[in-house]
A and B are shown apart, each in its own frame.
Chain A
Amino acid sequence: MAAIELDQVTKIYRRHGHRRQFATLKSALLTGSLVHDLRPDETFRALSDVSLSVPKGVSFGVIGRNGSGKSTLLKLVAGITKPTSGQVHVKGRVSALIELGAGFHPEISGRENVFINGIMLGLSRREIEQRFDEIVEFSELEEFIDAPVKTYSSGMYMRLGFAVAVHVDPEILLVDEVLAVGDEGFSLKCLDKFAEFKRRGKTILLVTHGLSMVERFCDEAVWLEAGENQTTGDPKRVVQMYLTDVEKAEDELLAATDAKAQQAPVMASPPNPVDDDTPPTPDPSAPVVSPEDTASGPEAQADPDEPPADMFTASEGRWGSGLVRIEEVTLEGEHGAARVFHTGERMTVRMLVVADQPVDDFAFGISIFTTEGVCCYGTNTHIEEHESASLDGAGEVRFVIERLDLVEGTYKIDVAVHKRDGFSYDYHRLLYTFRVKSRTKDVGV
């Protein structure tokens, strides 16, 4: 038998447009903005056609991005809002851990607030009296229970709210991202409480971004995407599908960000580099570059300025003489181009290189930086003592990291081709971003 049943539920919010927010009686009557508000472009579909069935005694996880309709789903089950269409059936007493301590009055004591909150959540005065000691003990607020709630820290406030809500003894517990309550010890206590609920055959609906929690704790899960039921079923499978999708989106986002960074320096550089004491003509001392090349190359010519004085604090950009150019850089994981990698995976940095004329004196380099600008790793073909005779025309350079042993985080890389003494042909500074994910939350750089 299902404890919670959603049948083709759709929830449409009226979007609070500019006009709506400041709507007045007058404007509603005079301009007929009530009609205006119901126009389709003024509405927001928070949930669309979602059907779900949560059997009694099941712990059910709800995951999805921000704004995917998770909280709306919870509010519908709690009965706080009504569906625009469809049916919501809930069997049993519901306690919603959506807003902890909602309705606490700051001026009166914790003790009185426990009673008032308990009554609000549907307990009788007698029931609260029976559970009062347990509630206080659970909240660890014995010393402060007679102080006004306004003197509580936010953690104490949440703890008291949580303690009352879980002692309502609901048949269905709705939890919305409230595990960040209090310190480590209290969080564990909350988890124990949830486990106890589960043991006693209560139904739990858990909305969270803590995916490992869903995998560990839930019997079933649903992934909501833009208000639609993307997939339902085994939590491990649902979480994995969700993660894959998140990584795909991250890939695209990182690629888009990089594309923007790569465009920026080109647009920012003046058509002709201007020196203080020379007229705006091509610098005769600059390395020879064929004029057609400067004009025709879509990425234009790398700015032949000297590289920034301090390489370690320079921001994104591209510079160099352009004698040898890195035309394209792609990052590849084990399954083709990617921007998101897992710790220990293989990463290949592939560079397409073009030399306009034969060059002997060159080295390829790469460095990996954290987003804070700390260099994690750097090398070049010169240091590694790969000597190749000469470079002419187009070619490809691959830099393979067999095991990407970086801790979780976002990294940027520099790639460069330069003379062995350091003179840059083409230097791409922090133009490529990738992200490392790790199942274990190691720390370090």
Chain B
Amino acid sequence: MLANLSRLFRYRGLVQTLVARELKARYRGSVLGFFWSFVNPLLLLLVYTFVFTQVLPRGEEVDLEPYAVFLFCGLLPWTWFSSSLSESANVLIINGNLIKKVMFPAEILPIVSVIANMFHFLFGLPILIAFLFFYAIPLHVAELVWFPFVMLVQFVLTLGFSMVLAALTVHFRDIKDLLMNVLTLWMFASPIIYPMTWLSPRAKFFMDFNPFAHLAISYQEILFYDGPFGHWKWLLALAVAGGGLFILGYALFDRLRDSFAEEV
């Protein structure tokens, strides 16, 4: 297992090349091309803002203004998370010819999915920053230093989930379909379109078991809410849990590796 993990490091050139290919191929053939990386999150934001301010207006909640910025703080990382998971569930099957016909390190594939989606997340950040400036939201350096750490935790956690999903979907194709619905549910069960403060104590208790909730809260606290970053204890706990999940996921992947070439 450790030997395999160190081998992962040797594959960085391959990962790099494949991520670049993924990003390049993504918008090939479209008129806006690479520009879509910015337009996509912007459109997504517009849709959600429209729905939750015009179609389903909330009460007068002062602490949620401007709503678009609050929404964006949760929605952007959620897109990274959910796209990575749904792509990872498919990635071994789609690249079946690589696994079946070439000596190819299969774990590269879910890793590439997660990293490629991370880049889309990064491309969405300028839009978020523009919004922050537009609404003149105060940012504090003491809080902003946590931002890369939150990203790192999210990265490791997403990778852990992706490994498990990629390995299991090869054997149980149902996961693909199930996952779409689970992700929709998961999104609404996370504090993305509503703040934690709306929840009853009972609901908050359950929310603590939702790993993505802690990520969303962290992003919101750092970028949207004023005041010091108070969620760091939860974030550290999540980092440990995420690391554990990654090791577990990788071990599972490693265990099932030999069956991929036959089952894909």
Which residues of A are interface residues toward B (Cβ below 8 A)? Answer: 13-14, 23-26, 28, 75, 78-82, 94, 96, 98-99, 102-103, 105, 107-108, 112, 115-116, 119-121, 124-125, 148
Q: Which chain B residues have a beta carbon within 8 Å of chain A's beta carbons? A: 13-14, 17-18, 21, 24-25, 28-29, 95, 97-104, 168, 171-175, 258, 261-262
CA distance A23 to B259 in the complex (A): 15
B103 touches A108 (CB 8 A): no
Do B28 and A107 touch across chains, with their CB atoms under 8 A apart?
yes
* Contact indicator B13/A103 (Cβ below 8 Å): no
Is there an interface contact between B21 and A24, defined as CB atoms closer than 8 Å? no
Is the beta-carbon distance between A25 and B174 smaller than 8 angstroms? yes
State the CA gap A81–B106 with chains docked (Å). 12
Q: Which of A24, A80, A108 has the most CB of B within 10 A?
A: A80
* Contact B104 A120, beta carbon cutoff 8 Å: yes
C-alpha gap A85/B179 in the complex (Å): 36
Q: A23-B172, A81-B262, A115-B17 are in contact. Are A120 and B28 (CB under 8 A)?
A: no
Cβ contact within 8 Å between B103 and A28: no
Q: Which residues of B contact A98 (CB under 8 A)?
A: 101-102
User: From residue A15, how far is it (CB to closest CB) to chain B in Å?
Assistant: 11
Given contacts A81-B262, A107-B25, A119-B14, contact A25 B175 (CB under 8 A): yes
Q: Which residues of B contact A107 (CB under 8 A)?
A: 24-25, 28-29
- Check A125 against B103 for contact (C-beta < 8 Å): no
Chain A residues in 8 Å Cβ range of B101? 80, 96, 98-99, 102
Q: How far is the CB of A7 from chain B (nearest CB, A)?
A: 19
Closest-CB distance, B164 to chain A (whole angstroms)? 13
**B15 CB, min distance to chain A CBs, angstroms:** 10
A140 CB, nearest partner CB in chain B, Å: 23
Residue among A13, A23, A80, A112 making CB contact with B103, cutoff 8 Å: A80
Can you name the residue of chain A whose Cβ is closest to the Cβ of B168?
Answer: A25
Contact B174 A80 (CB under 8 A): no
Closest Cβ–Cβ distance, residue A84 to chain B (whole Å): 10
The CA of A293 and the CA of B174, in the complex, are separated in Å by 67
**Which one of B25, B102, B261, B262 lies within 8 Å of A120 (CB-CB)?**
B102
Interface of B is mostly: helix
With contacts A81-B261, A108-B28 taken as known, whether A103 is within 8 angstroms of B102 at the C-beta atoms is yes
B21 close to A112 (CB less than 8 A): yes
Docked-complex contact B103 and A94, CB < 8 angstroms:
yes
The 6 A-B residue pairs with the shortest CB-CB distance, nearest first, are A99-B101, A107-B25, A107-B28, A25-B172, A102-B97, A102-B101
Q: Do B97 and A96 touch across chains, with their CB atoms under 8 A apart?
A: no
Q: Which residue of B lies closest to A121 (CB)?
A: B102
Q: Residues of A contacting B24 with CB < 8 Å?
A: 107-108, 112
Given A81-B261, A81-B262, A82-B258, answer yes or no on A108-B98 (Cβ-Cβ < 8 Å): no
Interfacial chain B residues near A121, Cβ < 8 Å: 102
Cβ of B25 and Cβ of A105 under 8 Å apart? yes
CB atoms of A119 and B17 under 8 A apart: yes
Chain A residues, Cβ within 8 Å of B258: 81-82
Complex Cα–Cα for A107 and B17 (A) = 15
Which A residues are in CB contact (< 8 Å) with B21?
Answer: 105, 108, 112, 116
Residue of B nearest to A124 (CB): B13
CA of A80 to CA of B103, assembled, Å: 5
Shortest Cβ gap from A151 to chain B (Å): 11
State whether B102 touches A24 (Cβ < 8 A): no
CA distance A115 to B97 in the complex (A): 18
Q: Tell me which of B103, B171, B175 has the highest count of chain A C-beta atoms within 10 A of its own C-beta.
A: B103
CA distance A17 to B255 in the complex (A): 23
A99 near B102: Cβ-Cβ < 8 Å: yes
Report the Cα distance A119→B19, complex, angstroms.
Answer: 13
Determine the residue in chain B with the shortest Cβ distance to A20.
B263
Report if A14-B103 is in contact (Cβ < 8 Å); known contacts: A112-B21, A148-B28: no
A14 to B14, CA, bound (A): 32
How many Å lie between the Cα of A79 and that of B168 in the bound state? 22
In the bound complex, residues from chain B placing their C-beta under 8 Å from that of A116 are 17-18, 21
Among A23, A102, A148, the most chain B Cβ lie within 10 Å of the Cβ of A102
Write 29 A-B pairs (CB below 8 A) sorted by A numbering: A14-B262, A23-B171, A24-B172, A24-B173, A25-B174, A25-B175, A75-B261, A79-B103, A80-B99, A82-B258, A98-B102, A99-B97, A99-B100, A99-B102, A102-B98, A102-B102, A103-B104, A105-B21, A107-B24, A108-B24, A108-B25, A112-B24, A116-B21, A119-B14, A120-B98, A120-B104, A121-B102, A125-B13, A148-B28
